[in-house]
Structure formats: structure tokens, C-alpha cells
């Protein structure tokens, strides 16, 4: 084979569907982990500066957020490794089904591993659906604060006194205890919070993190379809392999019978 033919043969063994799913999974996890980590840090800063002056009031929330940031590190590391494994499995299955590297052979262990990946990807997909829903909660909270600020900004100049009566109480979301002081922000104070860089960045980073979680869900669904298809291909190929082995054995036995039947005739001749 020439260089061009070898390149075409190698490109034929590339699992393009798995490659697209891997890139989408890496992108989604990177957006969720990176943006989520920075947004959580900004959220703690906003709470400490404007909604909870007493450290003991938000101590538990701070610990939970730090724990979530450590979990983000673990998620990023796990999915980096898991995506590479699924991509390698896609290369193996594509090359095996297309018989690009010699005679194709499949084992029960290989089919069992493919089935295990299908089950594990299904479980991870369901888990990421929960993560996607959970990541929408801070987006909803920040949107409520932002929309309240827009209402205050849209008030006429002669109604600034009534704007001071428009408030946002963070305690109603359950992230701060009811005895936290001040716990809420009203009027111009709330408008100043919305104008801070921490609020602007955290709000948009939470939106991007939520989009990243959604992209990861789509990638896992894509992986699930690919793995199910590969597992079906391996199962059918194993049946075809068993049929070919039986057929080859029968042909060999038939040739042996024919050769033995010719031996007496040759001896007589």
C-alpha cells in the first residue's frame, strides 16, 4: 500500500461520532467546572459584603461552597479520564468491526466491557441531568435579583422613595438563616449590588456553567447511543464469527471424508 492508501485506511478507522462526543463532553465539563468554580467564589464575596455581616451566619454556606469546589476538581479529573477511555473504546470497536487490523475476533470479556460502559454512561447521564437542574437554581436566583434591579432603574425620578421599598431577601431562598443580618437589600443599595463586578461576573458565569452542564448531558446521551450501537455490532459480529467457525469446521470435515474415501480407490488402482 502507498502512503495515500494507508492514510485513507487509518482515517476509515477513526470513530468520528465518538470524537465529536468527546470534544463536546470535554467542552461542557470545562465550562461547568471552570465557570462554576469562579462563580461560587464571587457568590461568597457578595454574601459576605452585602447580605451577611456576621461570619457565623454564613459559615455553613461557606463550607458547603468549598466542598462543592473540591467536588468540581474531582468531576473535571474523572471526566477527562472517562472521555479518553470512551474514545479509545470507540477506536477499538470501529477498527474491530471494519476488520482494519487483521482477522476480527471478539470475546465475551470484550462484550461485557462494552455493556459495562453502556450502563455506566447511562448512570452518569441521569446524574448529570440532576446537575443540570441544580445549576439552574443560582441562575434563577441571580435573575430575580437582576430583574428587581431593572425595576428600580426603570422607576421615574419622582418615585425614588417608592423604590426604596423594593427589596430582595436572600434568606427566603434558604441559603442564609432567618436571623442573618441584614439578610436583604433594598432600593439604591440593591442597585449598587447589581452594578458591582462580582455580581455581573457571577451571574453570567452561572449561565455559562448551566450551559456547560447541558452540553455534557447531550454528550453523554450521544455516547450512550454510540456505545449501544457498538455493543450491538459486537454481539452480531460474535454470532457471525461463531457461524463462520462452524462452517469452516464442517467444510474441513467434508474434505477429510472425501480424502479418506479416495484412499481405497487409489490403493486398488
Read off φ and ψ for residue 72, nearest 5 degrees.
-60, -40
- Choose among 214, 252, 200: nearest CA to 31: 214
In percent, the amount of the chain with pLDDT more than 90 equals 30
Is the Cβ–Cβ distance between 47 and 62 less than 8 Å?
no
52, β-bridge pairs: 182
**pLDDT, tens digit (0-9, with 9 covering 90-100), for 206-259:** 999 999 999 999 999 999 998 888 777 766 666 666 656 677 777 777 777 767
* pTM of the predicted model as reported, rounded to 2 decimal places: 0.79
Please give the Cα distance from 72 to 204 (Å, whole number): 18
Read off φ and ψ for residue 88, nearest 5 degrees.
-65, -40
Lowest-confidence segment of 52-56, 131-135, 201-205, 224-228 by average pLDDT: 52-56
**pLDDT, tens digit (0-9, with 9 covering 90-100), for 43-85:** 888 888 888 888 887 888 888 888 998 999 999 999 999 989 9
Amino acid at each position: 500500500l502507498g502512503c495515500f492508501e494507508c492514510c485513507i485506511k487509518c482515517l476509515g478507522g477513526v470513530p468520528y461520532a465518538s470524537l465529536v462526543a468527546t470534544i463536546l463532553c470535554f467542552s461542557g465539563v470545562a465550562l461547568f467546572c471552570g465557570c462554576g468554580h469562579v462563580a461560587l467564589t464571587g457568590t461568597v464575596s457578595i454574601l459576605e459584603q452585602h447580605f451577611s455581616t456576621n461570619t457565623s451566619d454564613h459559615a455553613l454556606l461557606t463550607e458547603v461552597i468549598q466542598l462543592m469546589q473540591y467536588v468540581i476538581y474531582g468531576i473535571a479529573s474523572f471526566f477527562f479520564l472517562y472521555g479518553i477511555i470512551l474514545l479509545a473504546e470507540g477506536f477499538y470497536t470501529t477498527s474491530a468491526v471494519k476488520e482494519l487490523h487483521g482477522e476480527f475476533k471478539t470475546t465475551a470479556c470484550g462484550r461485557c466491557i462494552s455493556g459495562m460502559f453502556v450502563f455506566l454512561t447511562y448512570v452518569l447521564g441521569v446524574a448529570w441531568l440532576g446537575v443540570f437542574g441544580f445549576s439552574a437554581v443560582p441562575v434563577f436566583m441571580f435573575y430575580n435579583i437582576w430583574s428587581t434591579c431593572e425595576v428600580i432603574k426603570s422607576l421615574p425620578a419622582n418615585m425614588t422613595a417608592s423604590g426604596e421599598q423594593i427589596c430582595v431577601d436572600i434568606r427566603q431562598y434558604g441559603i442564609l438563616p432567618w436571623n442573618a443580618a441584614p439578610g436583604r437589600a433594598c432600593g439604591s443599595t440593591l442597585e449598587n449590588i447589581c452594578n458591582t463586578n462580582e455580581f455581573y461576573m457571577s451571574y453570567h458565569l452561572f449561565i455559562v456553567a448551566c450551559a456547560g452542564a447541558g452540553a455534557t448531558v447531550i454528550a453523554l446521551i450521544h455516547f450512550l447511543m454510540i456505545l449501544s450501537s457498538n455493543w450491538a455490532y459486537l454481539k452480531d459480529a460474535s454470532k457471525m464469527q461463531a457461524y463462520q467457525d462452524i462452517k469452516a469446521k464442517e467444510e474441513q470435515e467434508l474434505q477429510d471424508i472425501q480424502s479418506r474415501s479416495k484412499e481405497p480407490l487409489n490403493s486398488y488402482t
